[in-house]
Structure 1
């Protein structure tokens, strides 16, 4: 009894301690050890409406270490200035210093207020000066302001000594001034040590060692937040100040701030106040079937610096968990793919933030662009949100936050930052681009002279850089015909027949909207008929849209060299009238998914044998990609049931190679690349480490196998939480030995137990947590072939009188097919005229 009593007391203590820690983490109470608020040039103390008291620097003599040539200017506030701090200023005509004692070194807020007041003797609007710290950190270099409104410069300085000095140095024959200064301790946890590098993907360490300047702080979807409503006296601008690029696409969502929760060990009210997390921007028309836009914010920044970007999220739009998945992009690069706030926070309306580092080389034209857009999830209602946004400039390697200047501050670790090297590289890149532009200009002039560019660029010119090996020989061609260039080009890359634009226009009834069978970022896909009813799938690119062009180009390059019975292939192309059109054979039975679930009206149920044959066909196509597609192999990167297509005989072919990547070289184990694919099928190891291997396709194919077996989506948020993710749910059932309980009931009784065991064994191995533990695609193929033979053997035992044709072959042993490539090659003849095509989906941000 005594032991039980002690155990209960210990449990109670732990419970109470947890509550106390939670309260402390969410109350956002913070008392700064250093709290210097100075109203410069004021003859008296100034109290703001938020309750803060600013002392006069005239009354606080120790702050100013310079006594000579210090003048005070004052005036009444103008109509557009409301902050009392801008009413006075301290003016310096020689180098002057403010000095502060530091009771606790660490991260400090430094806020400098500037407003050029009128003065009888000095013209503050023409002043030029530099502001730096005593250890050489340049805050402002040759700074001047003529703004009629006040200007606030805010910094997060990493103070390492027990004294901090702020030095104002006017340019020769000029002056310096400042209206007010804040030097206040900040919570050290405000700036964690690590962040996510956007490109190339990775982890940035040592953030806490950098000095920062707050360039933008935005309350997305909500009103401006003043220091009165922020524990750390921060100002959050509203995003209606011209940050949002397409405001009509923005739908503001808000809840009562009391609804917001804070996780233990995560975001707190010190990171951002309730009012940031209680409002958000979401997609205005997120219910459309094919969303074609991202919510976009653009902010001007100084080039030549790295930036720390902090994004704030709080799911205040969802009615249930695991119903919101979206992507995040920074300057066109994928920052997060398939962000699931429910999994990260385990609850709705839970505050969350994430930090990113953007390299100076990514900041083009002095703009940082942040975008959120719907994830490629067919079972979800597309939506995306953002609650708050902060952009902070990181000090350069020469100790500066304004230009590439230094006064002796020691450089940071150069492992992450080589600012000058980057700038030099940019210079080289610009030179190379100019050279390319010159080359293209010459080529275009030659093409135009030969009649190849009438009415705009030809289809082939879109891909000139990537196909330079072909084009170099083409440019020397002496053919004078209008289509000579494209004819030679396509004959070399193997794109098949050359269609005239009129042929395809007639086939689609002038590209009638009723003929559209798919829409993507590149344009639309039409069904057409030519030559006595032969059906085609016609993919018409849009040369005025850059979205999807890279993926479109990747598909062309792959299809020009890949030929296999179980891969999509091309019939031909059109290269007239500034068009970019590829032509595929229309596939009567469409995507595999439509035959498993979700089709309206419902299609006839596939038999177990048909499903096995389709699985085997798809496995053969992927095995060919991994082993025979190129010397290094090709990784598909978007294996799913909508990309496995069926012809009129239900032969399966793999399609949509827009995201495919060449595999690693012989001396490498993986390809480092941004995460792309479809959520629910993504290899978790690839998602975590951003290291792509062939085993990433194997994982996705494992999800497809269970999708085929269970006839349900890879993700279904309408189901109970433990059933939402098919892969996790199926693995749970398999571990409990009751996998048969989730098999598609329409075929459950027709599957032999031996066939089911072998099939599930193949799928289970595909879903191993680590790639090294997963089988190769060849091994998966063998297991599926074996599962089919087991099913046929069972059928023969049940119906011994049946014709052998019903079972299509005898049982084979593993030894007989140990060379899987031989087995595949028996069924992989080159079929130029039998490509497959699926309905194309919007691929923006995928």
Structure 2
């Protein structure tokens, strides 16, 4: 029976792929580029959604109708519509693919079989055509390509001036690509036409240079999706798909010129354009019509004119962009007469560009790629400029023939905001998950049975030489073969428990590799948490829930209960024990004990009664977001200093440094005296040794706090923590989350937003209004300087935590020196009195020899005291 079901399933899958492949073969003959270019894409799907039959376009392409087969389109409803009245666009008659559409009332997915993995064009065509049954102008939906978010909360006005085409370059290593359309609840999704076509293999490089740096500083683009947002034909007319080798649109550049009088168009016959003989370029990169026109410097009627031609192009903050510039010297009469500079957002792209030396001829095509990092984009625009060099002889000139601008997917694997793709929650997925769960449960039961049999054969209590906890294996088997809780009888545990005192727990329980202060019985944990009462939950994380527990003597504890069936939870649990059993510091949350009964993973920590730093930052009922009192500036500085001391100890105080990897305001806790302590070491890693520069590891952390260099290179260093701490500093100063998708797009990312205002010299406009008038200007300068340096793009440019600590201590000294004694919060914490505006005055500070942490950690002075 099972074999029959399996055979039937496999057969259906093969039939599905065969149907897709036949459609693939039937459409390939309709999308071959012009004869001058020999590129035949392996995968060609051109679908006119909802159309009754094939649709022929003026450019020679044929779009097939989407078949009504579940193997091709998975949808709960089969809704095809056509326009009640033929729609018209401002640019002229519409292509026939826009008179029909597919409508989806629930998540629906197109599945495309791919004969050749790699980069593929994905073009989505939208026009909310008029239909009496469906108001497509009110449709709001999202579109994903596999795990990549293409559109989120997308909608269009009723009959826009022209159809909207969203164009992407998606890389996939699978033999299928799935396009999922997900309508907002109560709305619908729709699409008029879809294109999925193989892209030429060398169309987009895997690596390219960052603007403003040398070409040796390469950015890896191989794992990123791209969205084409603009293609501009400088100095020329609109280029339609009928005149492009890959059916692309190129729009005129005139609307983007900041000063049209500074440029004059140049043209040459298309047949004069030549491509390099070495085959490094072809019309697949750009058609000759792009290179046959250009914008050049206008005549200013002055000698030795010096000005730039500038194009200002809208950009979405929070994203990096791939900028491709196309050049072809169609203005010179002889070689080596044209030298000019290229700038992107004020950064030098190319200095003294000499096309003659690069192409060895006139009217020979050339292009250059750059990546403009999101931190370099301000005012939601990208400024592209070309201008003469200072050494240009004769009549200075500069040209640009074409421009392509592509958005690069962000850390959330998204091209539209900071939203991650959500998997479809269908019954098939549930069945698979259930099957996996049953299999894991069976394995777990087998292991438990084997362990039970083994323990029945062992000697009890102290006579055991070694044993393993049912869920915890030693982290370092070469050092010890025993679990850190094994080998103790019930009586010995009770005897150990009697050593507790009212103030805490005495003694260190040594077992194997770890030192644990106390071993709790499961019944003790149950009593302390009132049998894990949900009302006692004070936190929830990826590991599990955290409960407030209280012992019979009144001692309060934070009890973290993990899920023993979770591999990720197990890993984080082991990491936490490994680190906290070795570390003791005033500014690190202390591990008090643990429980090793009933297949439970339970850790017990000191209780931090004032919650997280985040709880005290955001205004809500009665104070902070959770009713906690807000903090004045002095106390915020003290908290930053405490957290910095904890991080500095992690990086330098242990035998081998430790990288936290998840620094954020919710992982900095406050005790009853508002002393800051770093917590949650589940993602931490041991720092590289002296012979290493980094730790290569999969990227983990929290969006908004994650080091972009770590994300790009997957190479972890202690400077990744420094970047995260810089975000924390700005969050504490501005009292807003690191990522807030509800804000306008140029404000979503706190780090980028704050740095933009810092560069404008107007940071005071985004400071938390509860403290804005109370900060000493010199203290603010010192604090912001520390935060800004932490957020440098590259780790080598960021300070150490020791340097950051020195600047924060200086900021506090400057603040205290200018704050009346009654206002100082050296021993208090809450903002329990009106804060008065302070004035700047000299603090009289001399140099600091060192800062002595109250835990005994001696912090050396930074190397840049003189700065």
TM, length-normalised to structure 2: 0.49
Greater RCO structure (CA 8 Å; 6+ sep): 1
